[in-house]
Amino acid sequence: MRLSLLGVVRVAGLFGILATAISGAARAVDVTEARLLNAGSDAEAANWLTHHRTYDAHRYSPLNGITTDNVSGLKLAYAVPLGGWEPSELGAPALQATPLVDGGFLYVTDGWGSIYKIDGRSGDRGRVVWKADFDMDHEGLRLPVNRGVALWNNLVFSNLGDGRVVAVDDPTGEIAWEKQVASGAGEGFTGAPLIADNKLIVGQAMGDWATRGFIAALNPATGDEYWRFHTVPAPDETGGDTWRCAEAGNVDCWKVGGAGAWATGSYDPDNKLLIMGTGNPVPMFDPESRPGDNLYSNSTVALDIETGKLVWYFQYTPGDYMDFDETGVNLLIDREIKGEKRKVVAHFGRNGFFYRLDRTNGSFIGAKQYVDKLTWTEGVDPKTGIPLGYDPASSLQEYTKGQAPRRKGADRVTNCPHLQGGVNFWPTAYNPELKLAYGASIEACSEVVVRGEAQVGEGFQEFRGEGEFWLGAGANVVGTPTGSLSAIDVATGAAVVKVALKYPNYSGVMTTKGKLLFTGHLDGTFSAYDAKSLKELWHINLGVEFQAPPMTFAVDGKQYVAILGGGGGFSPGSAFYGLAELAVMERAYMLWVFAL
């Protein structure tokens, strides 16, 4: 580990000297379980203590110093440049983390997972207290993405792309402990860790690298593992029969089945349920390599936080062949639906439907299309939520005739929405005052290339080996991709307002008591919208690609809005969509903080 005071020195081992170089740089109160449980209270209104701010993942702040009436006066308060520029074979890292804030101190990560503690108490300058750098190996086909930290007591946690989980002492920046939690070939982490029930929750992310996904709970004091739930069951486990590997001529296909848990989950403390999404089965475009429904891929899973045992699950797209991961946010909302009070999981599906599930048992309530164009199925069964066209007797699904990739079928097949969504991993939000759920979406379609050249990946691929990137085919975008913002009434599942965006969105959203909605855009624009009408009220272009979500905090009663800016060489604008005007944007890695 290297610890440095940026702009002054980079030296190994001088932890005490460097960490105390800025006086008064210690938090006054530890982040306890009680504080995390009450993160939505007025007492914590100034802070953002966990990835989604609260366990219900609403990304709603009760701060209202910045409102629809005065947001037009928002200006840059300060900016902090970050490191982590070193590329992997997939290109330069991307900033996708949510800053956490406690007592005016900000905690952010760069794309390689290095942690920066920044003193923002002055309001006009962000001073780096320390940087914890974990000597990541930048070689190889590794995804250089890290989505943030977790706070617990006096420790700060980061998950790393090489499978390590690291705890850093908050006052000094020294490593408290380090564990190789994901140790298989190709395994690693990208999602921010979550502290729930005094457990550190992590999800193995690299499903597309021919690995087996898992969710694990660690002792945050030591890193020792309490339990591990595999998102791909073994043949003798419940759900194992949904991997019909023998039909593929490879009885071990489940061992490289993917279903990565690569985004941060939600937590229901009343029912002691950890609720997380899972990714696609692998290879994503070649279901003949792994016939069956492929549980628990493309699912929301609810786990007993004490034991890690599966309580319920809901699979959105059985036997997926369109890369419709469902790792995106699960909003936990209590809402009256048809005269009955329901405990709801609301989820913007990457497959283009907005779903409502019963949080207590996973039963289906309803689903409605929220993207403009959806062709991969004609709809979902109104009672079960299973996509129309599903054949329970078949090992290979074909939801729309002729549009499922087959080794001896058409050279190319087209489905909408795009393989990236819809809404992907980036955060959604819920405003409890307006009773609206928000999603920032991609509006596009994908062409899977079984044979021939492709924009992303290549034509049909045989298995290469565990730990190697395995798509099973290639993919192109169809037409000119755009984006959208939707505000959905959770009681009905229908969009109340929807507005078009020029570009696909990768930033996600945050909403406030000031009736505002914030998001960033791929062209470097950062915007504020009226949360009721979705009318844009303010924007600024900072010239850097936004793939990170906005957040807000307060110091001495003054509200600030912050966002990380900076895309990697594996830019969604160029890699997935071929948008030339985005491909030429320069790379920069910055923390931007705004105030009135």
pLDDT digits (tens, 9 = 90+) for 113-171: 999 999 999 999 999 999 999 999 888 757 889 999 999 999 999 999 999 999 999 99
| Cis, peptide link before residue 240, omega less than 30° from 0 | no
Dist CA 296 CA 260 (whole Å): 10
Of 76, 16, 58, nearest to 595 (Cα)?
76
Mean pLDDT, the chain, rounded, equals 93
Identify the three-state secondary structure at position 499. strand
Mapped onto helix, strand or coil, the DSSP state of residue 432 is coil
pLDDT recorded at residue 3? 46
Cα angle: 36, vertex 192, 510; to 5 degrees: 70
Give the range among 149-158, 306-315, 446-455 with minimum mean pLDDT: 446-455
Q: For residue 436, give Cα distances in angstroms to 40, 58, 121, 247, 333.
A: 18, 10, 33, 46, 10
DSSP 43: G
- Cis upstream peptide for 283 (omega within 30°): yes
Average pLDDT over residues 69-77: 99
Cα 362 from chain centroid (whole Å): 21
Whether the CB-CB separation of 217 and 305 falls below 8 Å is answered with yes
pLDDT at 569: 58
pLDDT at residue 2 above 60?
Answer: no
What pLDDT does residue 4 have? Answer: 42
Is residue 424 within 8 A of residue 444, CB to CB? The reply is no
Residues 413-423, mean pLDDT to the nearest whole number: 97
Single out the residue of 451, 425, 468 nearest to residue 89, CA to CA: 468
Q: What's the pLDDT score for residue 570?
A: 62
Residue 19 pLDDT exceeds 80: no
Which residue is it, tokens 């069951």?
A: 233
pLDDT, one tens digit per residue, over 175-185 is 999 999 999 99
- The pLDDT-based confidence of 467 (bands split at 50, 70, 90) is confident
Tell me the DSSP string of 225-286: EEEEEESS--TTSTTGGG--GGGGT-TTGGGG-B----S--EEETTTTEEEEE---BSSTT-
For the residues of 134-174, what is the DSSP string, one character each? ------SS---EE--EEEEBTEEEEE-TTSEEEEEETTT--
**Distance (Å, rounded) from C-alpha 364 to C-alpha 318?**
15
Given a cut of 80, whether residue 568 has pLDDT beyond it is no
Q: Is the pLDDT of residue 419 over 50?
A: yes
Helix (H, G, I), strand (E, B) or coil at 288: helix
Can you tell me the distance from the alpha carbon of 422 to that of 407, in angstroms, rounded to the nearest whole number?
27
Average pLDDT over residues 353-366: 98
Burial class (CB in 10 A: 0-12, 13-18, 19+), 503: buried
Q: Which amino acid is at 141?
A: L
In percent, how much of the chain has pLDDT > 70? 95
Quote the pLDDT of residue 18. 37
Three-state DSSP class for 333? strand
Between 2 and 160, whose confidence is greater? 160
Do the Cβ atoms of 456 and 478 come closer than 8 Å?
Answer: no
Q: Where are the beta strands (DSSP E) in 278-418?
A: 299-304, 310-315, 331-337, 340-348, 353-358, 364-369, 412-415
The amino acid that residue 370 corresponds to is Y
Length of the chain: 596
Cα 355 from Cα 312, distance rounded (Å): 16
pLDDT digits (tens, 9 = 90+) for 271-297: 999 999 999 999 999 999 999 999 999
The answer to whether residue 528 scores a pLDDT higher than 90 is: yes
- How many C-beta atoms lie closer than 10 Å to residue 458's C-beta? 14
Band (13; pLDDT cuts 50, 70, 90): very low
Lowest mean pLDDT among 54-58, 110-114, 143-147, 336-340: 143-147
| pLDDT score, position 582 | 85
Q: Span 560-571, mean pLDDT?
A: 85
Confidence band of 190 (pLDDT split at 50, 70, 90): very high
What CATH number does the domain located at 2-595 have? Answer: 2.140.10.10
Give the C-alpha separation, 553 to 48, whole Å.
Answer: 7
Q: How far apart are CA 212 and CA 235, in angstroms?
A: 13
Please state, in angstroms and rounded to a whole number, the distance separating the CA atoms of residues 112 and 227: 26
The three-class DSSP label of residue 331 is: strand
Q: Which of 81, 153, 84 is nearest to 118 (CA)?
A: 81
Report which of 80, 83, 84 is spatially closest to residue 105, judged by C-alpha positions. 80
Prediction pTM value: 0.95
Q: Residue 10: is its pLDDT beyond 90? A: no
Grade residue 461 by pLDDT with cuts at 50, 70 and 90: confident
Residue where the block lists tokens 């903080």: 593
DSSP state, residue 552: E
